[in-house]
Structure 1
């Protein structure tokens, strides 16, 4: 009987973990030097609250040479975010020559579904500032 328990337990763990959830809405687009993706996935509230949450997975990728992101002192900083009718979210990324091995930057956060009432018809504005003197703004739209 003990052997049966060892076989069932991993199977139950795999079933409970499941696969990655597919995004409910995905926005994407590109500007002159950057491309961006925003995936929104509804997640269940935790046990303490019945409040529904939406995971926002925001990814930006620089389309130029990685070294162009570095300043004279071989460090860099990016502030990137997005605006919708319901509000704004932004993140900052700091890096140097040693840590910059891919010009893709990601941020993920859970926000209340009540304050992120974005639909598949909405357009979202992305803003990116880097190297203290460069900026780009462009729109991302729902992917089909």
Structure 2
């Protein structure tokens, strides 16, 4: 493996695909890329990228969700790498198990740049994200209206 020069995300193929598939309930093996990124000060695990679906998946801890404004943020260097890879969708698994999704194009269009001591980030307010849990409940409510 060649050395990377300068800060920026580094992708590598991962056998963690089985773990990622287990999170989705699938037993089939698919190649995924583990996104390990560096913002110049630290190196961190950013999430998993599935090239077959062009989807980036990120597991969030409670402290990763911004409170003011309520938003989910990604490092700018991660967003740039995802754009280079042709990402079409972002999924964020919330601490309560819900999965929020947003088209990558909407994320890049509506996200605001901020830096709160962890490097430049793009933060997208929660109102732009779609809850998988709420979208699954909605069809069950059809016909119950008065």
TM normalised by structure 2 equals 0.26
Larger radius of gyration: 1
Structure with the larger strand share: 1
Higher relative CO (CA 8 A, sep ≥ 6), structure 1 or 2?
Answer: 1
Structure with the larger helix share: 2
TM normalised by structure 1 equals 0.27
